[in-house]
Amino acid sequence: MLDFSGRVVLVTGAAGNLGRVVANGFMEAGAQTAVVDRSSGRLETLYAGAGVAHEPLRLSGIDVTQPDSVSTTVSRTLERFGRLDVLVNTVGGFRAGKPVAETPLEDWDLMFDLNVRTAFMMARVVVPHFLERRYGRIINVGARPGYAGRAGMAAYSASKAALLRLTESLSEEVKGQGITVNAVIPGTLDTPQNRAAMPDADPSTWVRPEAVAFAIQFLASAQAEAITGAALPVYGRS
């Protein structure tokens, strides 16, 4: 296990399947952790009696598409811990199935809000703090359709492609200043929702959230200090 003792980690989307595993992994590795989610009350249930060295800072009802919410999230994290070392953006969403000519505008906007705007909004507030300290790690969560468009997935594919370009551009802006910006690209995650949606699939070929969480930890670690602007595939056999 990697050691994050003395580090402060902020995880958005921490009530989700992947976000919860990511946050728990960092806590088990010794990090002081802020867990953020839009839902109200779920963080208190999920992280009650965490049984780790440092109780997490729970920030519920936070919409990280909104400037005020993002500012509140970062300021409360800094007030609690005094600094921030790692930002992990696991917030995202999926909506697909219709061709471009039939895609509602609200679906297009929703995909860009959840998959790109969230990461942009968080980075915009966190990066100045990282630059001041000349240290920081940002890890975003991409998707394979971000590499190539697929029929019926224009909004999702385009938003995930934009997230990768955001990751690459930001990494170029801050490299050489102690800050790295990377993405992980999970294959099909083994979650209850995916099992219910694809009952005829073989989940043994899918990727456990724990495997993706470890890849995120690696990118946040000292061992990955020379890696920035990368998109790390975590496909398993999916």
Domain positions in the chain are 8-234
pLDDT for position 237: 84
Average the pLDDT over 99-112 and give the result. 96
- Single-letter amino acid, residue 227: I
Residues in the chain: 238
Closest C-alpha to 140, from 201, 182, 84: 182
| Fold classified for 8-234 | Rossmann fold (3.40.50)
pLDDT for position 51: 61
pLDDT for position 86: 98
Is 156 one of the catalytic residues? yes
**47, 135, 156, 235: which is the annotated catalytic residue?**
156
CA distances from 123 to 2, 17, 105, 191, 234 (A): 24, 22, 26, 28, 23
pLDDT at 10 over 90: yes
What band does 52 get if pLDDT is binned at 50, 70 and 90?
low
What band does 40 get if pLDDT is binned at 50, 70 and 90?
confident
pLDDT at 138 over 90: yes
pLDDT 10s digits, 143-160: 999 999 999 999 999 999
